[in-house]
Amino acid sequence: MDDELKAILREAFGDSSSDSDGEASPERRELVQFNHSNSEIGRPQSIFGDNSIWEPISEINGLSICRDFLSADQQRSLLSALEKEGYLGEASQNQAMRFGDLPPWALELSRIIRENVLLSDNSKESCLFPSKLIGREPLFNQLIVNIYQPGEGICAHVDLMRFEDGIAIVSLESSCVMHFSPVEDEVVGKCQEANHKCVTSAKIPVLLNPGSVILMWGEARYQWKHEINRKPGFQNWQEQEIDQKRRTSVTLRRLCGTE
């Protein structure tokens, strides 16, 4: 492992990774690197193991979640990096954006996402990112950090068309339920003039646990709205109310028309 990569790992995730070329610590087993001597050209070989499991959301094409993306130590180190750069400083500031050159910790997140997808079972590839997205350079060049206090959420929306297909959202600190609903609901949800009945389809709930990452592309990115309603009564999972604490999320996207 060269000095530059070790520096990135240290800044992004603290000292949980090995500083030598020997065996890596178990906290960093999710990381992978490309091995050019591998007989399968372009196929990465894991040096920390590959315990991440991708779960496709069957009701929505193009939506997948990896619940064990970051270990507890990695989450703490990532939050420390965010705090060091001032993203978590002001209590009144709940959102920060960055365009263009991303900080080392965001580049490392992008790298892990890319290589975890490449290491996934080929039979599940259609549920993650297609090759045209996972192979682009850079994978992401815009980030947004959101901080949600208990009770704070975000209304149903589709991300702006100024961003390309393929979005990743990393969740930290507190669990929450993100609800997905078809874009057509904006039309069919209006009361029909003839009988004044409202027609809406059921929302699809997805639990975002700390350390998880969700990937959205295709239908999930363009044809489904997503929202987080953290008011009492909306944050239930398996008939249990979620104990809400501060939640931090990191969204990674790519601007249209950039190289």
Output the DSSP codes for 150-189: TT--EEEE---TTB-S-EEEEEESS-EEEEEEETTHHHHT
pLDDT at 194 exceeding the cut of 50: no
41 assigned to some structural domain: no
* pLDDT for position 25: 35
CATH of the domain at 207: 2.60.120.590
Mean pLDDT of 100-125: 83
Domain count, the chain: 1
DSSP 123: G
20 assigned to some structural domain: no
pLDDT level of residue 49 (50, 70, 90 thresholds): very low
Q: Which residue has the higher pLDDT, 194 or 103?
A: 103
21 assigned to some structural domain: no
* pLDDT for position 6: 52
Mean pLDDT of 34-56: 47
Which structural domain, as residue segments, surrounds residue 142? 3-14+27-36+47-253
pLDDT level of residue 251 (50, 70, 90 thresholds): very high
57 assigned to some structural domain: yes
Predicted TM-score (pTM) of the model is 0.75
Mean pLDDT of 229-239: 85
Mean pLDDT of 114-120: 88
Average the pLDDT over each of 22-26, 109-113, 141-145, 187-191 and give the range with the smallest value.
22-26
* pLDDT for position 53: 87
231 assigned to some structural domain: yes
Q: Which residue has the higher pLDDT, 142 or 95?
A: 142
**Tens-place pLDDT, residues 12-32:** 545 533 333 434 333 333 333
Closest of 27, 168, 53, 61 to residue 111, by C-alpha: 168
258 assigned to some structural domain: no
Per cent of the chain over pLDDT 70 is 69
* pLDDT for position 234: 84
Rounded CA-CA distance 118/253 in Å is 18
Q: Among 161-165, 192-196, 228-232, which range has the highest average pLDDT?
A: 161-165
87 assigned to some structural domain: yes
Q: What's the chain's length in residues?
A: 259
* Kind plus residue range of the DSSP H or E element containing 79: helix 72-84
* pLDDT for position 186: 52
Rounded CA-CA distance 232/203 in Å is 17
Rounded CA-CA distance 32/49 in Å is 8
* pLDDT for position 14: 52
* pLDDT for position 134: 93
42 assigned to some structural domain: no
